[in-house]
Amino acid sequence: MPASVPPPPEGPGPRPLVVLAGPTASGKTALAAALAGRAPVPLEVIGADARQIYRGLSAGTAKPAGAERRALPHHMIDVADPAETFDAARYAREARSCAEGIFARGAVPLVVGGSGLYLRAFVEGLFEGPGAQPGVRRRLEEEAGREGLASLHKRLSGCDPEAAAKIHPNDRRRIIRALEVFEAAGRPISSLRAEVPAGGFERPLWLGVDWPPGLHARRIEERVRAMLAGGMADEAAWLAGRGLAGKPSFEGLGYAEALEYGQGGADLEETVELICRLHRGYAKRQRTWFRRVPGILWLHPEEGIARAAEEAARAVAGYLAGFGSFAGGRRGAAG
C-alpha cells in the first residue's frame, strides 16, 4: 500500500524536489509524462540513469524518444561522450545546475531514473569519507566471518545508532564501511554525512514505480527485444570499434551480448534470454535499494497508468502545498 506523503515543511523551508524512481523497464518515462500533464505546476525531468548520459547510446539504454523529450523538457541525457569517465560526483554537480535552471523558469525538477547512486548523490550529497583502510577492513571481514554479521551490526548500533537504523542487518558492505569509517575518523559516519551539502533538497517527495514480478519480467523481455530491434548490436559494434569495450559506457547491461549477437556468435533467442537475465538481476538490486527509501509512495501502474498518474499528481499537489509560490496556480510558467 502507498506510504503517506511527507508533511510540508514549516516556514520557508527547502525547495521542492520530486523523485520518480524504480527498476529498469518499469515505465518511469511514460509515467513521468502522464504526471507532468496532471501536476499543479510545470515539471521538467532530470534523468538519473548512468547509461543514458552517454551520447550515441539510445537503443541499448532505452532513452526517451525525441517526441517525448520535445513534449516534456529532459535534462542529463546525452551529456557525455562514451569515452569519458562520468561518476556520481560529476552527475550531482551537473544535475544541480539543471535544477537551478528549472527553478529559474518557475518549474519543479522531476528526477526520473533507476541509478540509486546517482539519485543519492544528487538528493543527499555524495559522501566519500576517509579513504579505504585495508587492514581495518580485512579485520572486520574476518570478524564478520567468525562472529556473524549480526554481531557487527550490534556493534554499529552502539557507536552509530543513526547509521545502524538505516543499514539492513544483512548489508555486509555498508556495515563494514560504517565501522571502518568510525575507526578511521573517530566519528560516526552519520555525523560526517550530515556535513555534506545536500543541495537544498532536505525534504524530497519520493515516488516509486514497480510491477508484480510476472508482469515485470514480461516488460523486461519486451524492452530487450525492442532494444535489439532498434539497433543495440550496431551501438555495441560502434563502441567496440572505438576501443571502448572496457569503458563504463560499454558495460551497460547487455552490450557485450549484443555485440556477440551482431557478430553472429549467438542467435536472437539466446541473446534475448542472456540480456533479460542481466536486467532481471539488476531490477532485483534496484528494487532492494528503493525499498529502503523512507516514506516512498509506491504507485501501481498495472492498475492503469492514468490511475497511477492521478495518484502521483495528488501526492505532488499535497507535497507542494507547503512551498509557498510553488503551491499551485503556476501552470504555463515554464517557457
Q: What does the pLDDT look like over 123-173, one tens digit per residue? A: 877 665 676 788 888 999 999 999 999 999 999 999 999 889 988 888 888
Rounded average pLDDT over 83-94:
89
Same domain, 122 and 141: no
The reply to whether 270 and 308 lie within a common domain is yes
- Say if 332 falls within a structural domain: no
**SS3 for 9?**
coil
Q: Output the domain CATH number for residue 144.
A: 1.10.20.140
Same structural domain, 225 and 89: yes
Task: Clarify whether residues 69 and 101 are in a common domain.
Answer: yes
Residue 8 within any structural domain of the chain: no
In a domain, 287, yes or no: yes
Give the C-alpha separation, 151 to 277, whole Å: 34
- What's the average model confidence in pLDDT over 189-218? 81
Residue 216 belongs to a domain with what CATH number?
3.40.50.300
Q: What is the pLDDT of residue 81?
A: 96
> Which has more confidence, 178 or 31?
31
Residue-averaged pLDDT of the chain: 88
| Amino acid type, 7 | P
Amino acid in position 139: R
Q: Has residue 7 been placed in a domain? A: no
Report pLDDT digits (tens) over 5-27: 444 334 334 689 999 999 999 99
Task: For residue 325, give every residue at least 6 positions away whose Cβ sits within 8 Å of its Cβ, in sequence order, or none.
Answer: none
Is the domain of 84 the same as that of 207?
A: yes
Domain, as residue range, for 292: 18-126+201-326
Q: Is residue 335 part of a domain?
A: no
Chain-centroid distance of CA 129 in Å reads: 21
User: Has residue 113 been placed in a domain?
Assistant: yes
Query: Helix 305-320 crosses helix 28-36 at what angle (to 10 degrees)?
Result: 60
Q: Any idea which residue has 580485512 for its cell?
A: 138
To the nearest 10°, the Cα dihedral for 240, 244, 246, 248? Answer: -120
* Residue found by looking up cell 538490486 in the block: 285
